[in-house]
Amino acid sequence: MTATGEIGGGGPTNDALNMGFAVISSDAGHSASQNPLFGLDPQARLDYGYNAVATLTPMAKQVIKLAYGKGPDRSYFDGCSNGGRHALVAAARSSAQYDGIIAGDPGFHLPKAAIGEMWSAQQLAKVATATTANGLPDITTGFTAAERQMVASKILAKCDALDGASDGLIQDIKACQANFSLATDVPTCTNNVRDGTCLTSAQKDAIGNVFSGARNSAGTTLYSSFPYDAGLGPGWSAWKQANSITLDPAAAAFTFTTPPQSASVLSQLSAYALNFSMDTDAPKIFATSGVYSESAWSFMTPPDETNLSALKQRGAKLMVYHGTSDPVFSSNDTTDWYQRLTTANGGDASNFARLYTIAGMNHCSGGPSTDQFDMLTPMIAWVEQGKAPDSVVATARDATNVVPNTDVPADWGAGRTRPLCAYPKVARYQGGDLNAASSFACS
């Protein structure tokens, strides 16, 4: 894959290479799509967790020095998803190497998130109405596209106007959680007849469990809750109803579980996911065994994740963004981390670290959202000119966009923009053109 240097969001209109940067990108030592069994190799686990970035960054700087006669004046890191996890790990482990770090939809608790995915699959399996060719519950039938669209409409009905504008975007996501109730705001099916206009009581229990997050039989939380939001379309389903029984169980079985599962599990990942024990299997992310001397929790997560004092003291900056409809890495988890980071920094971390939540956005892009934005340019201005980014303008990729996003509703019109506000501020409508970012203020 060509190293171009991402700048954030979906359908980007520029990249770091085009902006004049020397760029390096990494697959962290493996191609996951080709061979999830890399996790059987203890060194490959560490490379995937943190060692790849720690090793490659000094090498890249040396290559730049050889090519240009001097090292880089400034160094930046940008990644989303697992790349966002790498970014937060770098902020903690490699703070001396970077002047600015951008972490998108960070899976910085990835082993727990994988457990959360399998938990979701198990909940949806309880209300599935069909089976797959291998005889297992077809979890796509537990919460159909029509039902997801209906629930999204009910969430919007209760929450859309909380930011002052009925525009299909829930900016005040925190207020929405207090306003919306799956139990009372979604119709309950009569006689358990499912027609897309209601949910059965069993579905409400199962879907409620999906959003409240994974837990064991003692009720102990294993991964974060997810906020109710409007982005319940194909991007949501792709993670909750497909990757949850393919990609995530592979990561859990071979990379996050210690000792890893037998390679034979590769041919039965759906069964592994649906039978994964929240009581006895989940704790294995904290285990060590023989040659696997470091647990997944140790090599995958930032050590002492709210202690970024070294990054702060050298004047480096951190920008984090997260879609509130991300179905795999919860924005609630990232918001909780940022609140703890704030507490660890005397009640205000905004002089070096800022978080931006993105209404309706799925995992790193997509969803009914303004998901096209450039985080790198404001990061450069912050690092090199001291201009702190109170907000970042984002664009909805409607049908007129260079790279359209089919999740954007047709009735939004063309060229909609919104400010992505630095948490805890929310974009609130002030009046004027509903499609213009300038009609909103962060407050």
All residues at 6 or more sequence positions from 244 whose CB lies less than 8 Å from its CB, including other chains: 117, 118, 120, 121, 139, 273
Spatial strand order of the sheet with 353-358 comes to 76-80, 100-104, 317-323, 353-358
Q: Copy the structure tokens of residue 423.
A: 């948490």
Burial grade of 51 (CB within 10 A; 0-12, 13-18, 19 or more): middle
Active site residue ranges: 81, 326, 363
Compute the distance between CA of residue 168 and CA of residue 73 in angstroms, rounded to an integer. Answer: 43
For tokens 């979604």, the residue is 186
Chunked in runs of 10, what are the mean pLDDT values of the chain (443 residues)? 86 92 86 78 95 93 96 96 96 96 98 98 98 96 98 98 98 98 98 96 98 98 98 98 97 97 96 98 98 98 96 98 98 98 98 98 98 98 98 98 97 96 98 98 98
Determine the pLDDT at residue 28: 82
Domain assignment of residue 419, yes or no: no
Compute the distance between CA of residue 288 and CA of residue 276 in angstroms, rounded to an integer. Answer: 19
223 neighbors 334 (Cβ within 8 angstroms): no
DSSP H or E segment with residue 53: helix 52-68
CA 18 to chain centre: 26
Compute the distance between CA of residue 215 and CA of residue 88 in angstroms, rounded to an integer. Answer: 25
Determine the pLDDT at residue 25: 87
Burial grade of 215 (CB within 10 A; 0-12, 13-18, 19 or more): middle
Domain assignment of residue 173, yes or no: yes
Determine the pLDDT at residue 29: 77
Considering its fold, how many domains does the chain have in total?
1
Domain assignment of residue 336, yes or no: no
What is the residue range of 207's domain?
A: 111-296
Compute the distance between CA of residue 165 and CA of residue 441 in angstroms, rounded to an integer. Answer: 12
Domain assignment of residue 87, yes or no: no
Determine the pLDDT at residue 183: 98
Q: DSSP 3-state assignment of 441? A: strand
Domain assignment of residue 106, yes or no: no
Determine the pLDDT at residue 32: 55
Domain assignment of residue 131, yes or no: yes
Residue 39 one-letter amino acid: G
Determine the pLDDT at residue 6: 87
257 neighbors 36 (Cβ within 8 angstroms): no
Determine the pLDDT at residue 35: 79
Determine the pLDDT at residue 3: 86
Q: Which residue blocks in 195-352 are alpha helix, DSSP H?
A: 201-212, 234-240, 247-251, 269-275, 296-300, 309-313, 331-344
Stated pTM of the model: 0.97
Burial grade of 443 (CB within 10 A; 0-12, 13-18, 19 or more): exposed
Determine the pLDDT at residue 26: 84
DSSP 258: S
Compute the distance between CA of residue 4 and CA of residue 16 in angstroms, rounded to an integer. Answer: 6
Domain assignment of residue 126, yes or no: yes
Taking CA atoms, 15 is separated from 7, 77, 208, 393, in Å, by 6, 13, 39, 17
Determine the pLDDT at residue 27: 82
Selection from 75, 365, 395, 428 nearest residue 238 by Cα: 365
Domain assignment of residue 315, yes or no: no
